[in-house]
Amino acid sequence: MEDFNAFISDMSLFDCKPNNGLFTWTNMRKHFSQIVECLDRFLLSSNGFDSDIEFFSSILPLSGSNHFLVSLTVVRDRSSFKIPFKFEPMWFRDTSFLPLLHHWWEEAPFLRGFGMFQLVKKIRFLKKNIGNWNSLHFKNIFEEKQRTLDMLEVLNRNVLQHGLGGKVLDEIRSLRSELDEILAREEVYWRQKSRELWLADGDKNTNFFHASTKMKRVRSRISCIQDSQGNILLDDEDVSREAVKFFKNLLSSKNIDVSNNIPSFIPSLVSPEDNKMLMSLFSLDEVKRVVFAMNPDKAPGPDGFTPLFFQKC
């Protein structure tokens, strides 16, 4: 079993777990004699799949065997919604990025209003400039990686045909240096996507981070949902509509009579001193300590910025 697990790790495979159950085999017995296990599964490679391809497995009804059939569905994500802004830690690898952030922050137009209103407007201005800079300067790391590899392949063919000259050697060294930086950025990118925060980047763990990201996407995907009538919904629009309906009913209330006498039955457990401390305004130093104590690679907030952004800037 250890050898098999080592093979899975070496080949960057991951288990595509079923979305509608845990077990795929039963001994067909009842009560305390019953045994169920997950014996049948799909092991998928993180390589060879585009970023917009998703896949999920489902357990089919039992039919004549102790094993449940398991089906694999592969779909290309054609979502039309706009992808929200997300801050990428790999941007800090560009030495010009941090000075640009300070410049854009100072350049943001002044607007009258409360402090939080001004902060939100500045953050929005910052996101717009970061997006433009990413498209024009930083560019797509995957396209840049392929472009650099193609140029290296052309130079290598040149060397095989005409020999290694000084100028060609300089070009190869320059391209290899560019490729090393692109690979470093790619590793930081996949580490952020994978949420594997216990493993540091810089140790050539790109394949592991990529596989972890694929696994996270499989676990996070909602491929079907059961409505209030017990029907299984598979269409994306039906799933979305039912989810909204469920939480609207859950979080809304109608004709609820709350007696004014209820608070009198709740014992007072907070002293006046503690209550005064809890009700006091927090200081900027307290906010700073909390932000700087956070893991820099934790999930971003609604504005798309991770703790790393506030810690670095």
Q: What confidence tens digit (pLDDT) does each residue in 166-184 have?
A: 677 788 888 888 888 877 7
Q: pTM, whole model, 2 decimals?
A: 0.50
Rounded average pLDDT over 8-22: 78
Rounded average pLDDT over 146-158: 82
What angle do the packed helices 166-194 and 141-162 form, to 10 degrees? 150
CA 15/CA 257 separation, integer angstroms = 50
Q: What is the pLDDT of residue 220?
A: 67
Q: Which residue has better confidence, 213 or 29?
A: 29
CA 253/CA 276 separation, integer angstroms = 33
Share of the chain above pLDDT 90, in %: 3
* Contact between residue 188 and residue 196 where contact means Cβ atoms under 8 Å apart: no
Q: What is the pLDDT of residue 198?
A: 46
Q: Is the pLDDT of residue 223 over 80?
A: no
The domain spans of the chain are 2-81, 139-221, 223-252
Confidence of residue 131 (pLDDT cuts 50, 70, 90): confident
Please list the alpha-helical segments (H only) found in 163-283.
Answer: 166-194, 206-220, 236-251, 272-279
Q: Is the dihedral of CA 137, 141, 146, 148 positive or negative?
A: positive
Q: What's the whole-number average pLDDT of the chain?
A: 78
Q: What confidence tens digit (pLDDT) does each residue in 79-128 have?
A: 555 678 888 888 888 888 899 999 998 888 877 778 788 888 888 899 99
Q: What is the pLDDT of residue 297?
A: 80
Share of the chain above pLDDT 70, in %: 79
Q: What is the pLDDT of residue 292?
A: 92
Q: Is the pLDDT of residue 32 over 80?
A: yes
Q: Which residue has the tokens 């009198």?
A: 264
Q: Which residue has better confidence, 190 or 143?
A: 143
